[in-house]
Structure 1
């Protein structure tokens, strides 16, 4: 049995200083990859970005700031409703800067998605199939 969990949400991408515009976001959880949530951000039918997110980190980000690298999450109080702020850093520019995006999600919707993933694979019961992992690494290497 492979019980995928999928949810489509409208999130807001911050463009420029404070302007936001809606992006359709597809969240997907595959119990075969129990530690990850895939997020695909689209606008006008085009894929803007695809990220594999750590499920536990995403859950912790609903309660407080997490992340120090390319992906950072945290709740924000700058809105009349509960939001999860997701910050993504990408490849470097030739001038030394980096691509940077900030996306805001309605926190209760993300929380509901995570609860559905926990029904499929409870936190702490994730298993890593080492043989499959090594086969993937050798194939991709």
Structure 2
């Protein structure tokens, strides 16, 4: 049985006014970490950058502005032209990215096929996770 879902897509990165760069991005979900999704920018290169965020945040951001602080997400447009906007903030700077909303929505739907919404804790061992976090064990 598959325990992960990933998809490669190409996100747009806003540069100087009117400038846009294409950023290969891999969206990753693993059932053993049911609350989180990963966006890996420039996957399979020496320059890959990974951001981990809540799956619920992405789900909410498909239909309304969501997030605060380091990660903000919201939809724009409609139909085939609908985009998902993602703003990532760090001490090094801010990146504003866009992706085709339908591509992200289809991938997210596959993650719910692996672990349905509301069932994330069914196989989640809270004690083991706390031990891992507090003691650095796996």
TM-score range, shorter chain: 0.7 to 0.9
Distance verdict in 2 for CA 1:3–1:44, change over 3 Å: closer
The answer to whether 1:104 aligns with 2:98 is yes
Tell me the TM-score normalised to structure 1 length. 0.86
Residue correspondences, number: 134
Distance 1:13 1:64 in 2: 21
Contact preservation (8 Å) 1:40, 1:47: no
Distance 1:44 1:139 in 2: 30
RMSD of aligned alpha carbons: 2.2
**Structure 1: runs of 5+ lacking an equivalent:** 93-98
Distance verdict in 2 for CA 1:130–1:14, change over 3 Å: same
Cα distance per residue 1:26-57 (max 9 Å; x no partner): 11100111011011111894435210011011
The runs of 4+ residues in structure 1 deviating greater than 4 Å are none
Distance verdict in 2 for CA 1:137–1:45, change over 3 Å: closer
Distance 2:19 2:125 in 1: 44
Distance 2:98 2:114 in 1: 26
Distance 1:46 1:16 in 2: 25
SS of alignment partner, residue 118 of structure 1? helix
Pairwise CA distance, 1:117: 0.3
Distance 1:110 1:91 in 2: 27
Pairwise CA distance, 1:17: 2.3
2:115 is matched with which residue? 121
SS of alignment partner, residue 47 of structure 1? coil
Distance verdict in 2 for CA 1:27–1:44, change over 3 Å: closer
Pairwise CA distance, 1:140: 3.2
1:3 is matched with which residue? 3
The answer to whether 1:14 aligns with 2:14 is yes
Contact preservation (8 Å) 1:62, 1:75: yes
2:89 is matched with which residue? 89
